[in-house]
Structure 1
Amino acid sequence: MNRFWRGRRIPLSWLLLTRQPVRLLVALAGISFAGILMFMQLGFRDGLFDASVTAHRLFDADVVLISPRSASSVSMEAFPRRRLVQTLADPDVDGVTPVHWGLMLWRNPETRRNRSILALGFNPDDPFFVDPSLAEKTDALKQKGRILFDQLSRPEFGPIADWYRDGRVVETEIAGNRVRVAGLVSLGTSFGADGNLLTSTETFLDLMPQKPPGAIEVGLVRLKPGADPEQVVSRLRQRLPKDVSVLTKQGFIDFEQNYWKSSTSIGFIFTLGAAMGFVVGCVIVYQVLYTDVSDHLPEYATLMAMGYRLSHLLGVVVREGFYLAVMGYVPAYMAGQGLYWFVRDATKLPVGMDLSRALTVLVMILVMCMLSSFLAMRRLIDADPAEIF
C-alpha cells in the first residue's frame, strides 16, 4: 500500500485548472466558440463544393463533353450536337445523351414573382440518372409542357412540393410559357442555382426558343462494361475538333469544383474565417495559461528549488492545454451538429458533419492549445527562484 501511494502521481494540471471554476468555464467557452467558428466556416466551404456538383454526380455517364468556353454550371456555353454523335464511332462507346442546360425565369405561382431556376432538358427515352427512382419519373416528361420540379429548391419558388403532394394541379409560367409540374425529384440547391427542374428537349427548346436546336451544353457518353474512361477520353480528344472539351465524369466534377475554388473568392473567405477562429482560440488559451502560470510562479519556483526538473513543470502546462482542448472540443462538436441541421433546413445546402471535418477541427484545436501552451511556457522558463523569493 505504501508503494502504491508513493507511485501515485498528483494530478497537478487538473487541480490547477479546476481551482478556479469560473476561469475554466470562460476558457472553455472561448475554445468552444473558436471550434464552432471553424466548424461553420469549413462546413460552409465544403457544403459549397459538394452542392455545386450534386447533379453532376447523378448523371449516368462515364465521359462528358462540354464547350471549352464554359466556365461553370451557371454559365454553360453550347457546342455542336454532332460532336456527341461522332463519339459513337469509338468502339467502347455504348450510348450518348444530349443535354440542354440553362437558367430560366420561374414565376412563383403564389406570389407571382420571378426567380432564376436551373433547367436541364434531355430526351426522356435516354438514360440520364444513375438512380433508378429518378429514371422512372422521366416518362412523365414525354408530354409537352411537363416538368419535374426539385423539391429541395428554396421556398422562394413557391410551395410547389406541398401543393403537388396534396394532389393539386400545379401550373406556373417559365419565360412566359405555361408549364405543369408532373412530378418531384430531389437534386439539391447550390450557390449558383437556388432551384432545379427537369424537362424534355422539346419543352426546353419551346421555353428557350433562342437556343439553336443543333447545339447542346452537355453531352453524356456511356461506355461499354470494362472500358477504361481515361483511354476513351484520350482517343476522343485526338479525334474530335477543338470546339469541344472531353472529360471523364470525375473530371467534369472537378471542373465545377475548381471554378468555385479558384475563380471565386468564396472558398478563400471561408478558409480565412476558419483561420481567424484558430487565431482567436490561440489568444484565449494563451491568456488563460499565461495567467495561470503567473499566478502560480511562487509554487513553480518552490518545486524547482526542491529539485523538480524544468521539463516536468513544462509538462504540467502542456497537460493543461490538452485538457482544455478536449473539454472545449466536445461542446463545439455538439453545437456544430445542431447548427449544421439548422443551416440545412434553412438553405437546403448539403452541410453536414463528416469524419474528415470532425478530425480536422479536433487537430486544429489540439494544435491551437499546444501552441498556446508553448507560448505560455516562456513565463515559466524565465522564472528565477532567487528573484521570486
Structure 2
Amino acid sequence: MTLILPEQEEPKVPLLEAPQVRPKQGFWQSFTQRTPIGWKQLTKKKGRLFVAIAGIGFADLLMFAQMGIQAALFDGNVLLNRSMDADIVIRSAQYRDLSLANTLPRRRIYQVQDIPNVASADALYISTVVWRNPETRLKTQLTLVGQSVERPALNFPEVNKNLDKLKQPDTFLFDRKARGKYENVVAAVENGKMATTEIERRSIKVAGLFSLGASFATDGTLITSQENFLRFFPERTSGQITLGLVKVKDGSDVKQVLADIKAVLPKDAIASTKQEYIDYELAYWGETTPIGVVFGFGTAMAFVVGIVIVFQILSTDVNDHLSEYATFKAMGYGDRFIVFIVLEEAMILAILGFIPGVGLALAQYALIQNVAALPIAMTFARFSFVFFLTLVMCGVSGLIAIRKLQSADPADIF
C-alpha cells in the first residue's frame, strides 16, 4: 500500500520592491513647496510685486525724509546750546531763541557769583553777522560768539587750546563744518596759515578751527573774544550780554544752587539747568514755529500714499484669486483663513518694501549732510518707528482690500 502525501506549497519569498527615485528638485521648487500661500500669490506676477515694493519703498523714503529733516533742523538749532560748558544758564525773560535772544544786564552775573557753591559765572555774547566767504567772496550769515578768554565757555577742545589767539584783535576761530565751499580755507588754517576776510567791511583773521555744524538760521559759527565781538556792535555795550553761564562746584546739588539763584534774580532774568534750557529751545521750534506741523503733515501724507499703493496692489490680487478664495469657502474654510492669507501678503510686502526704503534713506541722509551741512543721521528709534508704520500701513491696506471678499457667497462668485 502506497501512502500518498499531499503536495506542500513552496514558501513564497516576498519580492523586493525597487526603491522609488524622486526626481531631483531645484532650490526654487523645493522652496516654493514649503512657502506660504501669500508668498506664492505675490510671486505669481513678479511685475506687480516689483511695483508694490517700489511703492512701499517710496512711501518709507518720504517718511524717513520728513522725520530726518525735521530732527536735523531741531538738532542743528541746539548744537551751540548743547556745547555750552555750564550747569545753569541764565537768559532774558524776553528770550525766544538764539536768533532772537534779547539781552540781559551783565550785573545779573555779578549777583550770582557770591551764591554758595557757585564756582564761576561768565557772560556769553551771541549774535549774527554777515561775512564774506574767503573762497567764493560771496556773503553769508554766520553766528558770532564772544566768550571769555580766561575760562572755557564751550566744550570744544580745539577752541579751549586756542583761547590765547583770541586775545589778538580781530582774530577768530571758524567752524570747519559750516555750510558752503571752504575746503581751501580749512586746509590753509590746518597747515598753520591764517585766512583773511571781512565782516561788515572790517578785515578779520581766521587763526583756528573747530567742528560744530550749520543750523536752520545760519550757515555756521565764528568764535572770538568778548572784546572782538563788541567791536562789530558799537551800539551794544559790554553790559548787554546774551547768556550767563554758571558752573557749580564739584559735588554740589545743581537743583539747590538753581533755587538759590532764582531767589536773587529779578523778573527780567530766567535761570534754568542746561537741559531745561535746551528743552525750552526745542519746544520753541517744535510748538511755536510751523516746522513741527509741516513735517508732521508730510509724514502723514506719505503714510496715506503708502496705504493707497498697497491697497491697489492687494485689491487687484484679491480679484485675480477670487475663484480660489471662493473654493476655500466652499470647502469649509472660514473668513479668518482668507483674511490671514491677505494679511500674510501685506506683511511680506511691508518687509520687502522697507528694505529698499531704508537703503535709499541712508543715501539721502548722506547727501543732505554733505550738501546742507545739517546733523542728519539714522537713529534706531526712527528706524523702528518707520518700520512699525510700514507694518500698520500694509496691514490696514490688507483689511480694506479683504472687506468685499468676506461678504462674498461662493455660489454668487461661481
Which range, TM-score by smaller chain? over 0.9
Which stretch of the first structure deviates more once superposed, 61-70 or 131-140?
A: 131-140
**Counterparts of 2:57 and 2:308, CA distance in 1:** 13
**Counterparts of 2:59 and 2:124, CA distance in 1:** 45
Alignment of 1:36-55 (within 5 A): 36-55=61-80
Deviations 1:144-185 (A, max 9, x none): 211001111111678532332355431111122221001001
Within the candidate set 354, 359, 367, 2:379 is matched to 354
Within the candidate set 207, 213, 220, 1:188 is matched to 213
Within the candidate set 173, 176, 201, 1:151 is matched to 176
Within the candidate set 217, 221, 240, 2:265 is matched to 240
Deviations 1:318-358 (A, max 9, x none): 11110000000011001111110010000110011010110
Q: CA RMSD in A?
A: 1.6
Q: Where in structure 2 are there 5+ consecutive unaligned residues?
A: 1-32
Secondary structure of the 1:307 match is coil
Preserved contact between residue 158 and residue 209 of structure 2 (Cα < 8 Å): no
Within the candidate set 312, 323, 329, 2:354 is matched to 329
Deviations 1:18-49 (A, max 9, x none): 11000000000000000000001100001111
Aligned pair 1:257/2:282, yes or no? yes
Query: Letter of the aligned partner of 1:169 in structure 2?
Result: M
Aligned to 2:121: 96
**Counterparts of 1:195 and 1:15, CA distance in 2:** 54
Secondary structure of the 1:171 match is strand
Secondary structure of the 1:208 match is coil
Q: What displacement does 1:135 show?
A: 1.7
Aligned to 1:345: 370
Secondary structure of the 2:399 match is helix
Aligned pair 1:75/2:100, yes or no? yes
Secondary structure of the 1:193 match is coil
Alignment of 1:84-233 (within 5 A): 84-155=109-180, 159-233=184-258
Secondary structure of the 1:112 match is coil
Preserved contact between residue 96 and residue 220 of structure 1 (Cα < 8 Å): yes
Preserved contact between residue 81 and residue 214 of structure 1 (Cα < 8 Å): yes
Deviations 1:196-215 (A, max 9, x none): 10000111111211111112
**Counterparts of 1:108 and 1:14, CA distance in 2:** 57
Secondary structure of the 1:319 match is helix
**Counterparts of 1:32 and 1:305, CA distance in 2:** 37
**Counterparts of 1:10 and 1:197, CA distance in 2:** 61
Alignment of 1:359-374 (within 5 A): 359-374=384-399
**Counterparts of 1:158 and 1:259, CA distance in 2:** 34
**Counterparts of 1:160 and 1:202, CA distance in 2:** 24
Q: What displacement does 1:113 show?
A: 3.2
Which stretch of the first structure deviates more once superposed, 125-134 or 82-91?
A: 125-134
Query: Letter of the aligned partner of 1:381 in structure 2?
Result: Q
**Counterparts of 1:113 and 1:344, CA distance in 2:** 21
TM-score (ref. length: structure 1): 0.94
Q: What displacement does 1:97 show?
A: 1.8
Preserved contact between residue 158 and residue 210 of structure 2 (Cα < 8 Å): no
Preserved contact between residue 297 and residue 383 of structure 1 (Cα < 8 Å): no
Q: What displacement does 1:114 show?
A: 2.6
Secondary structure of the 1:155 match is coil
Secondary structure of the 1:164 match is helix
Secondary structure of the 2:162 match is helix
Aligned pair 1:292/2:317, yes or no? yes
**Counterparts of 1:96 and 1:336, CA distance in 2:** 44
**Counterparts of 2:147 and 2:192, CA distance in 1:** 26
Aligned length: 382
Deviations 1:254-311 (A, max 9, x none): 1221121112112211111111110000000011111111111111010111111211
Q: Where in structure 1 are there 5+ consecutive unaligned residues?
A: 1-7
**Counterparts of 1:83 and 1:316, CA distance in 2:** 69
Aligned to 2:300: 275
Within the candidate set 4, 24, 46, 1:21 is matched to 46
Preserved contact between residue 159 and residue 173 of structure 2 (Cα < 8 Å): no
Which is greater in Rg?
2
**Counterparts of 1:25 and 1:127, CA distance in 2:** 57
TM-score (ref. length: structure 2): 0.89
Preserved contact between residue 51 and residue 190 of structure 1 (Cα < 8 Å): yes
**Counterparts of 1:168 and 1:177, CA distance in 2:** 20
Aligned to 1:3: none
Preserved contact between residue 123 and residue 244 of structure 2 (Cα < 8 Å): yes
Which stretch of the first structure deviates more once superposed, 163-172 or 189-198?
A: 163-172
Alignment of 1:309-324 (within 5 A): 309-324=334-349
Q: CA 1:199 to 1:357, structure 2 compared with 1: closer, same or farther past 3 Å? A: same
